[in-house]
Amino acid sequence: MRTSGRMSNAKSWLGLGMSLYFWGLMDLTTPVLSGKPTPPGKLEVFLSDKPQSHPRTKRSWVWNQFFVLEEYTGTDPLYVGKLHSDMDRGDGSIKYILSGEGAGVVFTIDDTTGDIHAIQRLDREERAQYTLRAQALDRRTGRPMEPESEFIIKIQDINDNEPKFLDGPYVATVPEMSPVGTSVIRVTATDADDPTYGNSARVVYSILQGQPYFSVDSKTGVIRTALMNMDREAKENYEVIVQAKDMGGQLGGLAGTTTVNITLSDVNDNPPRFPQKHYQMSVLESAPVSSTVGRVFAKDLDEGINAEMKYTIVDGDGADAFDINTDPNFQVGIITVKKPLSFERKKSYTLKVEGANPHLEMRFLNLGPFQDTTTVHISVEDVDEPPVFDPGFYFVEVPEDVAIGTTIQIVSAKDPDVTNNSIRYSIDRSSDPGRFFYVDITTGALMTARPLDREEFSWHNITVLAMEMNNPSQVGSVPVTIKVLDVNDNAPEFPRFYEAFVCENAKAGQLIQTVSAVDQDDPRSGQHFYYSLAPEAANNPNFTVRDNQDNTARILTRRSGFRQQDQSVFYLPILISDGGQPVLSSTGTLTIQVCGCDDEGHVLSCSPEAYMLPVSLSRGALIAILACVFVLLDTERQAVTGPSHISGAESGLKGRQAPLCISLHLSSTTLLPNVHPQLPEALSATRREITG
C-alpha cells in the first residue's frame, strides 16, 4: 500500500466495486493516489500482492466495513467483498478465517482468496448489520499472521416495504357545521425501510376517497374538514380512504391505504316544529287527577341533548285544569288532569302548548326561533256519577235522653248529572251495628231508633248512603259523627264500702272518717257533691256530717261516752247529692265500730265477742286479726335482728294494736282456736322461722 503522508481511515474498491473501510493508526494529511491529490482524510487504495516500497509503521487490515444490498434474488451466492492482508503474496500460504454473527451460515469466506459471499437472502428489516471477525493464518503452521480484526457488514436498504397504518381502520367524529379546516383525526403510516437511506421511508399522505368533504396534510397525516356547512341531517357518515406512499410520493414508490370512518356529531341547528298545529282530545269527567289525557309531539331533526324538549301550557282557559309534562325517553308532551273535572260545570277547554329546546347554541340562534306552538282542544265527556252530599260531612250533638224517633239531622244529596235522578237514603249497617239510628229513605231525615246512653256510647260514627233510583250501582256516601251529650241521670254514690272506728273514750267533735263520692255523669261544669245526714238520721245524737265543699265530707262525733257493752256498732246513713238538673241523690251507709282504746287513742279491742265467732267473722274482726299477726311477727323479728325501720303509718298501727295483740298472743291457746283452729300453729311456725 502506497501513501504519502500519514495513514488514516481509507476507502478501497474491491472486486465488484464494493467499498470497504479499514482502521488506520495515523491520520493522513495529504493523501495521494496514482499521483493525484485526494481529499484530506481519505485514501483510495488498490490492494496488490506486490511488495510495497514505502515503509509501514505496522501491518494492519485495510478494511473496516462492507455494504451489501438486501433482497438479492440471484441464483449464485452474493459477493460481499474481499479480505486481504498485505502479507498475502498470492501463493496460498495465507488462510483466511471468518467468525462472528452469521459466519458459516449467512456468510462464507474463501480461505485462500478472502472473498466473502452471502449464501442466504438478506433482509435489512430483519437485521440491519452483522459484526464479524477476520483472521489471517499461516496455512502451514496455523500461526496468526495478523492480529484478529473486527468488521461490519451493513445491509443496504432497498425500497421493499410499503407504508402501513398500524392503527387502522380509524373511527372519528367531528361536529356538523364545523368550519373548514377543523381537525378531525391524525393518521400515521409506518415504513419499515431505512429512513436514513434515500427516500424509501419518506411517506406522503393523500386522500383517495372522501373529497370534497375532507382533506389530509401530506406530511402530518392530519385530516381536516374541507367543505362548509356539512349537515348531519343530510349525511351523517363518511368513509375516507387515505393513502400513504413512500419515495416522497414519486412514481415507483410503494403505497398503503387505510379507512377512516368519520361521523358528524349533532349540534343544535334545527328548531323544533309541531307536525300538527291542532290537536283534538277528550277526557271523562270522572278521570282522576294526574291521569293522562293525550300527547303532543314537536319534531326535532337533531338528536340526543339537542333534541330534548320542554313543553309548557302558555295560554288557554284550561291552564288551571290541565298540566303538561315531558317524557324524557320519547320527548313527547303528556297532558294530564290537574284538578277534578265536571261536565256539568264546563264541557270543553282550549290549551296553547309550546315546545322548546332547553339547550341552545348561540351561533345557531339565527336559524330559530327554537320553539313552536300548537293548539289543543279538550272535550269533557259526561259520565253517570253517584249522588253527592252537600255538605260532605255532618256533625250532630244529641242529648242522651232524646226520645226515640226524634229527628236529629236531615242529610241531603243530589245527582250531579244532567238527568238529576231521584235519590233514596239508607244507613250503612256496618257503621251502626247497634241500630241506634235510621234514616227516612225519601227525605233523608236521620232519627233515633233506640235510647241513647252516654255512659255506654258517647260517640257514634255512622255512614249514610244515597242511591240513584234509576241506577242502584251509583251510590254516594257521607260520614255522620254523633256526639251524645250528658244529662244528669246518675246519682252520686260512695266509691267503696266505708267502715270507721270510734274509741270508747272519744270526745265530741272528734274526726273519725273522711268520705268522698263518684258520679258516672260528666257535666260540662264539672262534678259538685253535697253531703248531709239522711232525713231519717237528721237528729242523730252520736255523729254528724261536715261538708268540706271540695266533694268530700268529714264524719265527726257529737258526744263522748261510747261503750262497747251498750252498743258496739253504729250505722250512719249519709245523703249525697249532685249539682245537676235535676238534682239526683243517693244514700250511703257508714259502719262505725266502737273500740276500746288507751289514753293516747291506741285501739285495744273492738267488739271482742266478734273474735270468738267461729264462722261469721265481721270485716273489722278480720282486719284486727291480720293487724295483730303483722305486729307479732315484727315484734319477734326485732327480738332477733334488732329494731326495724318502719314508716310512721306502720308505727302508729303497731302502737295501737300492740296491747291487743299481746293479749291475743298470751291467750292463743284459748282465744285463737275459737277463731280458726290452725291459726296458733301458723303463728308458732312463723315465729320459729323468724327466730331460726
Residue 9 falls within a domain, yes or no? no
**Per the domain annotation, does 666 fall within a domain?**
no
- Coil, strand, or helix at residue 262? strand
Q: Which residues contact 437 (CB under 8 A, 6 or more apart)?
A: 408, 427, 446, 447, 448, 449, 460, 462, 482
| Residue 677 included in any domain | no
pLDDT tops 80 at residue 419:
no
**Selection from 125-129, 301-305, 335-339, 539-543 with the highest mean pLDDT:** 335-339
pLDDT at 627 over 60: no
Percent of the chain with pLDDT over 90: 55
Residues 112 and 174 in one domain: no
The rounded distance, in Å, linking the Cα atoms of 262 and 446 is 83
Q: What is the mean pLDDT of residues 367-378?
A: 92
Residue 79 maps to a domain: yes
CA distances from 217 to 186, 207, 262 (A): 9, 9, 17
Query: How many DSSP H helices and E strands does the chain contain?
Result: 4, 43
In this structure, what DSSP letter does residue 3 have? -
Give the pLDDT of residue 624.
52
Q: Which of 242, 265, 288 is the last residue of a domain?
A: 265
In a domain, 451, yes or no: yes
Provide the pLDDT confidence category of residue 384 given band limits of 50, 70 and 90. confident
Residue 473: CATH number of its domain = 2.60.40.60
pLDDT at 146 over 50: yes
Q: Do the domain assignments include residue 118?
A: yes
Question: In which band, very low, low, confident or very high, does the pLDDT at 634 lie, cut at 50, 70 and 90?
Answer: low
- Taking only the tens place, the pLDDT of each residue in 52-90 is 344 444 444 444 788 888 888 888 999 999 888 888 888
Lowest mean pLDDT among 131-145, 466-480, 595-609: 595-609
Is 570 part of a structural domain of the chain? Answer: yes
395 in the same domain as 465:
yes
- Give the pLDDT of residue 628: 53
Decide: helix, strand or coil at residue 87. Answer: coil
Q: Give the pLDDT confidence of 467-522 residue by residue, as tens digits.
A: 988 888 889 999 999 999 888 778 889 999 999 999 999 999 999 999 999 988 77
Q: Based on the domain organization, do 513 and 593 belong to the same domain?
A: yes
597 and 520, same structural domain? yes
Instruction: Count structural domains, the chain.
Output: 5
Task: Determine, yes or no, domain membership for 656.
Answer: no
- Give yes or no: residues 223 and 317 share one domain: no
Residues 197 and 249 in one domain: yes
- pLDDT at 623 (0 to 100): 53
**pLDDT tens, residue by residue, 227-271:** 999 999 999 999 999 999 999 988 889 999 999 999 999 999 999
What range does the domain containing 565 cover?
499-605
- Percent of the chain clearing pLDDT 70 (strictly above): 78
Q: Considering only CA atoms, which of 232, 234, 229, 207 is closest in space to residue 218? A: 207
Residue ending a domain, choose from 485, 517, 535: 485
> What is the average pLDDT score of the chain?
80
Q: Residues of 164-200 as b/e, b for ≥16 C-beta within 10 angstroms?
A: bbeebebebebbbbbeeeeebbebbbebbbbeeebbb
Checking if the pLDDT of 644 tops 60, the result is: no
196 and 231 inside one domain: yes
| Mean pLDDT value of segment 15-36 | 31
137 and 168 share a domain? no
Q: Is the pLDDT of residue 221 over 50?
A: yes
Q: Which of 352, 381, 410 is the last residue of a domain?
A: 381
Same domain, yes or no: 233 and 295: no
147 and 192 in a single domain? The answer is no
> Are residues 243 and 187 located together in one domain of the fold?
yes
When pLDDT is cut at 50, 70 and 90, the band that residue 454 belongs to is: confident
Shared domain for 177 and 239, answered yes or no, is yes
pLDDT digits (tens, 9 = 90+) for 116-134: 999 999 988 889 899 999 9
Q: Which residue has the higher pLDDT, 110 or 660?
A: 110
